[in-house]
Amino acid sequence: MSEFRRTAAAFVQGSRTLPREYYVSPQILADELESIHARAWNCVGRASMLVAPGDYITRTIAGESIIVLRDRSGTLRAFFNVCRHRGTRLCREDSGQLGETIQCSYHAWTYATDGRLLGAPHMQEAEGFDKADYPLHAAAIEEWEGFLFVNVARSPRPFANVWAPMIRRLARFDMPSLIVGHRVRYDVAANWKLVFQNYSECLHCPTIHPKLATVLPYQSGANDLIEGPFLGGYMEIKAPNESATMSGRPAGKLVSPQLSEEDRHRAFYYTLMPNLLLSMHPDYVNYYLVHPISADRTVVESEWLVHPDTLHGGNLADAVEFWDLTNRQDWDIVGQSQLGISSRRYEPGPYSPRESMPAAWDREYLRQMGRSVASSQ
Amino acid sequence: MSEFRRTAAAFVQGSRTLPREYYVSPQILADELESIHARAWNCVGRASMLVAPGDYITRTIAGESIIVLRDRSGTLRAFFNVCRHRGTRLCREDSGQLGETIQCSYHAWTYATDGRLLGAPHMQEAEGFDKADYPLHAAAIEEWEGFLFVNVARSPRPFANVWAPMIRRLARFDMPSLIVGHRVRYDVAANWKLVFQNYSECLHCPTIHPKLATVLPYQSGANDLIEGPFLGGYMEIKAPNESATMSGRPAGKLVSPQLSEEDRHRAFYYTLMPNLLLSMHPDYVNYYLVHPISADRTVVESEWLVHPDTLHGGNLADAVEFWDLTNRQDWDIVGQSQLGISSRRYEPGPYSPRESMPAAWDREYLRQMGRSVASSQ
Amino acid sequence: MSEFRRTAAAFVQGSRTLPREYYVSPQILADELESIHARAWNCVGRASMLVAPGDYITRTIAGESIIVLRDRSGTLRAFFNVCRHRGTRLCREDSGQLGETIQCSYHAWTYATDGRLLGAPHMQEAEGFDKADYPLHAAAIEEWEGFLFVNVARSPRPFANVWAPMIRRLARFDMPSLIVGHRVRYDVAANWKLVFQNYSECLHCPTIHPKLATVLPYQSGANDLIEGPFLGGYMEIKAPNESATMSGRPAGKLVSPQLSEEDRHRAFYYTLMPNLLLSMHPDYVNYYLVHPISADRTVVESEWLVHPDTLHGGNLADAVEFWDLTNRQDWDIVGQSQLGISSRRYEPGPYSPRESMPAAWDREYLRQMGRSVASSQ
């Protein structure tokens, strides 16, 4: 596959880690939420959560509670979880069924599932009040490979433009057909960028992940996305292992019959700004949603996607255990990085060519923050 | 009663709720404590707590711990809970008996109950030291209808001026004769202003309070105080209910024989800036002290006052249960308002004529904060 | 001993306590850590913790995690606990044995115990990388009377200059020969300066410490260090008590045979900026390390040092109980001071001549903060 390049080729000599304040400043976190998350297409999970009209979930994006739903006509929609009357939160649960309308439980303002204000008791007594002026505030929503993405900006950049590099890239994995087989939530004592950087290189694997290192040699593979908001590539699954599981045996059926012979011995890892980490293996896909909570705390939600047959005949626990072990090793070490970087004597250190991906991620991050790489160092 | 006007008459068309920052900014809360609470007459409870010379309570006003006491001569006094030597807090308990003096437990500086410094070990060795220069810092104190009010300002506006609209207004309820029958404390996950606004209208009652709505129809009654720091009026108690209790029967004896026939079928609700909500029913009075803790947290302390005979022959629990249910419904919904208003997409929404009281309260609030209504929106 | 002067002689008439903001402002605490702690020689405990090459402890100074160790050649060293690669914390434990090297557990950068970078996987692929450019960041370290002191400044003032007044002053106690007999940690709800000020005077002893006051009369003794960063003197142990213990009997053997007859009936108390309180009694030494945590919280770690024979034939618990009682009384009252000083009505109060030491401490504190005494009041 000619599009895969050797990592070293993409390395910018002299790359260094980000300065201290990017990891400890509450102000920079606020800037990030405004400049990156509040302008970007944030993954909120799988479309399979919203099957019937009236199905909804609530999710937090850049500090905003958003209602994501399928309206009465079957269209996917997203709304700010805020009544237009006195601001009350409308939906309290993580998920549920709305029925025909969304009614505020305070003064009974009532909205259609497409956001139109239908009823507002006694407001007809207020001069000039027009229900058409008070629909729910909408957020933009898109679906890609079975994932849902929400953008809370007033004028979002079109998904098709921003995500152009990804649109057809992973089609052969047939992810829309997969179902959720497992779900887990982690609380990480580190800045969210450390989670991305950690995911982006395997130079640490021999030290931190002795089990993983026997299955996925850190010097194997290559990257096909080496600059920009989407980064990553593949690693080789080392024979006789057939997948990244505790036993080395597959956890279930191939995710798609379209996978090439090469794909069947590879594991793919992509960071997709601003909040999605996507791992594809021959027999399962696991992904991570990264939620910044404070400068030194991040919540990571993860789901495992599998072929429907795997849930019955497969052994998904074999893969879950493999990654749960690996993830906990990662959260532990990024917690130690967070502590060390907080030192006033910390200064940006040198990236090696084996860390070209975190270096590229940092560049894209600075670009989205509107800062030049030079001025950050 | 000609002084009662229909609510709609007082409504300022175009009134809108306050902007987001008023509910989420710690800086605005600090401004409120300085501009409103630290200049106003704050209710600290009932005078019946201080019967004998030396009786004291400590209360927090605008972040200040204040000792309120009856001195050796029987006079009510209030002092900052701060030793003039090295600043140590003098009284630790919520209430107690001082005896003849107040002694600091650090270096034994000793004060009379009227605040004069009586003893200061070894200070006579300091040149020019004069005990007369170090009395306790006094705060102003007044009594009204059996309630105590403290003002921590250096030059408080006279109580008689500020409270002129209230001085004789509720005399027929004979509140000084009532005794405390019940006490409760609530912790509310919302800004203190949401507690005032919620108390100020019953448009929400059909949605939030199905029980209350059967007893106190939200469209009944009228308001007699419709602008300024004191706002409110009455609602009709719907027959066959005789009071606002779970059973509809009175909780005890009439609070005063002076109540008119009309008063005996009415419930009165007043918001009295900066921290008192006062509810009068034919057979009991309940009041609420509202303590801002942080931008999104408020403590509410409440007491029930009744005719002394009610404690023995009455059924106060019937009223307590009614309001405990109602209060918890209110604290729940203002918590949801707090969450929704915190959204960056929240914007001030329209008040209906049925919300003329919260709109008037907001105007008075902005006036006391030194901000024009126009500039707030 | 002519060097001891009566306290009153050193008193500056008109001395007053520090203004409120010094006790409540997070910004002033940050300034203190920068201006005082990050420039000073901070005591980190006893050299006896580091016996063999490779022994290490980690301690926090001015918010910095510091590794203090004995290197392979036997030399004491201190390093910032920060990997030069990506900033990861190197040592997690409070104490341990390093072996031959310090290896970062993230990407396996490896350092000699003298700080030199020995190995950095794949960094040879980065152009111009030179291991000599990336030693661990060193901090300065000194030993005095068996205590270790670390200075995290880039250009520390020489210990021998700063500590000149102390270098030989306490040699007769032979503290290097003493061993640790007991250890305790306290969490105090007060600003760290209140802990120093409280330790610096015994005017409060009759009120706060009825037990101690029978053994150590507050008007006894004299001070020999009355201005500057090191302050203190002695008090007389009142016969028939032979030491400051619950029983009045010695807790063990004399700490040193060099103690004069006078020394054997005295207790010595010194505040040694920025973080050491040192108490010497004929039969034991106890000291306190004072760690500011926030403007209103301080952690105090204390150890008892005794002649080696005391651990077996003595009764150290008799002394430990005496001071644990006394310390808890002090932490309680400084907590009340913290609360009272937080009042906006608190203003600096007058020190008496019996409080000449806290007044001198405040002067030195302001000097180190770069503020004049006059402008502080």
Closest-approach residue (CA) in chain C for B61: C343
Distance (Å) from the alpha carbon of A58 to chain C's nearest alpha carbon: 36
Residues 6+ apart with CB under 8 A from A20: A341, A342, A343, A344, A346, A347, C87
Structural domain spans, chain A:
7-39+168-376, 42-161
Taking alpha carbons only, the member of C170, C189, C194 closest to residue C281 is C170
Contact B106 C336 (CB under 8 A): yes
pLDDT of C7 reads: 46
Kindly compute the dihedral angle of the four CA atoms of residues A144, A146, A151, A155, in this order, to the nearest 10 degrees.
Answer: 40
What are the start-end ranges of the E strands in C123-252? 138-144, 147-151, 179-188, 222-225, 230-236
Closest-approach residue (CA) in chain A for C122: A352
Chain A interface mutation, best of C33, C84, C86, highest count of A Cβ atoms under 10 Å: C86
Angle at C90 between CA C88 and CA C94, to 5 degrees: 130
Interface residues from chain C to B (CB-CB < 8 Å): 8, 13-14, 17, 20, 203-204, 206-208, 333, 336-337, 339-346, 349-354
Per CB-CB distance under 8 Å, the chain A contacts of B204 are 106-107
Closest-approach residue (CA) in chain A for B197: A86
Could you report the per-residue pLDDT of C214-246, keeping only the tens digit for each?
999 999 999 999 999 999 999 999 999 999 999
pLDDT of A13 reads: 85
pLDDT of B12 reads: 86
Q: Which two tokens stand for residue C261?
A: 């007859």
Of A20, A349, A353, the CB nearest to C125: A353
Q: Does the structure show a pLDDT above 80 at A236? A: yes
Token match 């208003």: residue?
Answer: B341
Query: How far is residue A167 CA from its own chain's centroid?
Result: 16
Taking alpha carbons only, the member of A206, A77, A218, A87 closest to residue A139 is A77
Per CB-CB distance under 8 Å, the chain B contacts of A37 are none
Terminal alpha carbon distance of chain A = 36
Cβ of B84: how many Cβ atoms within 10 Å?
A: 24
Which of the four pLDDT bands, split at 50, 70 and 90, describes residue B11? confident
pLDDT of C2 reads: 40
What are the start-end ranges of the E strands in chain B? 42-46, 55-61, 64-70, 76-80, 95-97, 101-103, 110-112, 117-119, 138-144, 147-151, 179-188, 222-225, 230-236, 266-272, 276-280, 285-294, 297-306
Q: Do domains A7-39+168-376 and A42-161 have the same CATH topology?
A: no
Cβ of A5: how many Cβ atoms within 10 Å?
A: 15
Which of the four pLDDT bands, split at 50, 70 and 90, describes residue C373? low
Closest-approach residue (CA) in chain B for C334: B88
CA A23 – CA A341 distance, rounded (Å): 7
Determine the topology of domain B42-161 in CATH.
Rieske Iron-sulfur Protein (2.102.10)
Q: Does the structure show a pLDDT above 70 at A374? A: no
- The ipTM value here is 0.93
Which of the four pLDDT bands, split at 50, 70 and 90, describes residue A299? very high
Per CB-CB distance under 8 Å, the chain B contacts of A63 are 342, 344
Instruction: Please check whether the domain covering B7-39+168-376 is classified as CATH 3.90.380.10.
Output: yes
Contact C105 A8 (CB under 8 A): no
Closest-approach residue (CA) in chain A for C137: A345
Q: Does the structure show a pLDDT above 60 at B3? A: no
Judged by DSSP in three states, A38 sits in helix
Could you report the per-residue pLDDT of C168-212, keeping only the tens digit for each?
999 999 999 999 999 999 999 999 999 999 999 999 999 999 999
Contact C208 B90 (CB under 8 A): no
Q: What is the DSSP letter of C154?
A: S
Could you report the per-residue pLDDT of B22-80, keeping only the tens digit for each?
999 999 999 999 999 999 999 999 999 999 999 999 999 999 999 999 999 999 999 99
Closest-approach residue (CA) in chain A for B341: A87
Chain C interface mutation, best of B34, B61, B88, highest count of C Cβ atoms under 10 Å: B88
Contact C89 A8 (CB under 8 A): no
Q: Does the structure show a pLDDT above 50 at B8? A: no
Distance (Å) from the alpha carbon of C118 to chain A's nearest alpha carbon: 16
Amino acid symbol at B71:
D
C-alpha distances in Å from residue C130, one per residue of A58, A350, B88, C118, C126:
52, 11, 58, 11, 9
Phi, psi at A266, each rounded to 5°: -125, 155
Judged by DSSP in three states, A194 sits in helix
Amino acid symbol at A279:
S
CA A315 – CA C266 distance, rounded (Å): 76
What are the start-end ranges of the E strands in chain C? 42-46, 55-61, 64-70, 76-80, 95-97, 101-103, 110-112, 117-119, 138-144, 147-151, 179-188, 222-225, 230-236, 266-272, 276-280, 285-294, 297-306
**CA Rg, chain C, in Å?**
22
Distance (Å) from the alpha carbon of A84 to chain B's nearest alpha carbon: 6
Of B8, B343, B349, the CB nearest to A80: B343
Which helix (DSSP H) or strand (DSSP E) does residue A196 occupy?
helix A192-199
- How confident is the prediction for chain C on average, in pLDDT? 95
- β-pairing, C110-112 vs C117-119, is antiparallel
Could you report the per-residue pLDDT of A341-357, keeping only the tens digit for each?
999 999 999 999 999 99
CATH code of the region C7-38+171-376: 3.90.380.10
Of A203, A206, A341, the CB nearest to C87: A341
Could you report the per-residue pLDDT of B296-344, keeping only the tens digit for each?
999 999 999 999 999 998 999 999 999 999 999 999 999 999 999 999 9
- How confident is the prediction for chain A on average, in pLDDT? 95
Q: Does the structure show a pLDDT above 80 at A2? A: no
- Residue A50's region, left for phi above 0, alpha for psi from -120 to 50, else beta, is beta
Residues 6+ apart with CB under 8 A from A210: none
pLDDT of A1 reads: 36
Which of the four pLDDT bands, split at 50, 70 and 90, describes residue A117? very high
**CA Rg, chain B, in Å?**
22
pLDDT of C341 reads: 98
Contact B333 A65 (CB under 8 A): no
List subunits contacting chain C, requiring 3 or more Cβ pairs under 8 Å.
Answer: A, B
Of B204, B207, B346, the CB nearest to A87: B346
Contact C126 A13 (CB under 8 A): yes
Residues 6+ apart with CB under 8 A from C3: C224
Residue percentage of chain A with pLDDT more than 70: 96
Contact C350 B89 (CB under 8 A): no
Chain B interface mutation, best of A58, A66, A86, A125, highest count of B Cβ atoms under 10 Å: A86
Q: Does the structure show a pLDDT above 90 at A377? A: no
CA C218 – CA C236 distance, rounded (Å): 9
Could you report the per-residue pLDDT of A313-339, keeping only the tens digit for each?
899 999 999 999 999 999 999 999 999
Q: Does the structure show a pLDDT above 70 at B221? A: yes
pLDDT of B1 reads: 36
Could you report the per-residue pLDDT of C76-101, keeping only the tens digit for each?
999 999 999 999 999 999 999 999 99
pLDDT of C266 reads: 98
Q: What is the DSSP letter of C157?
A: P
Q: What is the DSSP letter of C5?
A: B
Terminal alpha carbon distance of chain C = 36
Closest-approach residue (CA) in chain C for A197: C86
Mean pLDDT on B282-286:
98
Per CB-CB distance under 8 Å, the chain C contacts of B120 are 352
pLDDT of A367 reads: 97
Number of H helices, E strands in chain B: 9, 17
Residues 6+ apart with CB under 8 A from B236: B216, B217, B220, B221, B265, B266
Distance (Å) from the alpha carbon of A156 to chain B's nearest alpha carbon: 15
pLDDT of A4 reads: 59
DSSP output for B14-51: T-BPPPTHHHH-HHHHHHHHHHTGGGS-EEEEEGGG--
Which helix (DSSP H) or strand (DSSP E) does residue A234 occupy?
strand A230-236
Contact A353 C134 (CB under 8 A): no
CA B122 – CA A167 distance, rounded (Å): 83
pLDDT of B372 reads: 73
CA A197 – CA A333 distance, rounded (Å): 12
CA C345 – CA B59 distance, rounded (Å): 15
Contact B206 A89 (CB under 8 A): no
DSSP β-bridge partners for residue C294: C297
Q: Does the structure show a pLDDT above 90 at C257? A: yes
Residue percentage of chain A with pLDDT more than 90: 94
Of A64, A90, A107, the CB nearest to B344: A64
Per CB-CB distance under 8 Å, the chain A contacts of C86 are 17, 197, 337, 341, 349
Closest-approach residue (CA) in chain A for C154: A345
Which of the four pLDDT bands, split at 50, 70 and 90, describes residue A10? low
Of C333, C342, C343, the CB nearest to B105: C333
pLDDT of B264 reads: 97
pLDDT of C268 reads: 98
Length of chain C: 377
Of A204, A342, A354, the CB nearest to C106: A204
Of C83, C129, C134, the CB nearest to A340: C83
Closest-approach residue (CA) in chain C for A206: C107
**Exposure of C337 in the CB half-sphere (CA atoms within 13 A):** 31
Residues 6+ apart with CB under 8 A from C296: C23, C24, C189, C190, C191, C338, C342
CA B44 – CA B61 distance, rounded (Å): 8
With 0-12 CB in 10 A as exposed, 13-18 as middle and 19+ as buried, what is B256? middle
Number of H helices, E strands in chain C: 9, 17
Of C20, C203, C207, the CB nearest to B105: C207
Token match 């605040």: residue?
Answer: B115
Distance (Å) from the alpha carbon of B210 to chain A's nearest alpha carbon: 12
Judged by DSSP in three states, B112 sits in strand
Computed from CA positions of residues B292, B293, B299, B303, in that sequence, does the dihedral angle turn out positive or negative? negative
Of B38, B81, B152, the CB nearest to C340: B81
Q: Does the structure show a pLDDT above 80 at A157? A: yes
Length of chain B: 377
Which helix (DSSP H) or strand (DSSP E) does residue C335 occupy?
helix C316-341
With 0-12 CB in 10 A as exposed, 13-18 as middle and 19+ as buried, what is A128? exposed
Q: What is the DSSP letter of C103?
A: E
Per CB-CB distance under 8 Å, the chain B contacts of A91 are none
Taking alpha carbons only, the member of C232, C237, C197, C192 closest to residue C214 is C237
Q: Which two tokens stand for residue C339?
A: 């609360």
Mean pLDDT on A62-91:
98
pLDDT of A311 reads: 92
Mean pLDDT on B139-148:
98
**Angle formed by the axes of helices C192-199 and C316-341, to 10°?**
120
Judged by DSSP in three states, A331 sits in helix
Number of H helices, E strands in chain A: 9, 17
Q: Does the structure show a pLDDT above 90 at C6? A: no
Taking alpha carbons only, the member of A299, A188, A19 closest to residue C86 is A19
Length of chain A: 377
Per CB-CB distance under 8 Å, the chain B contacts of C333 are 88, 105-106
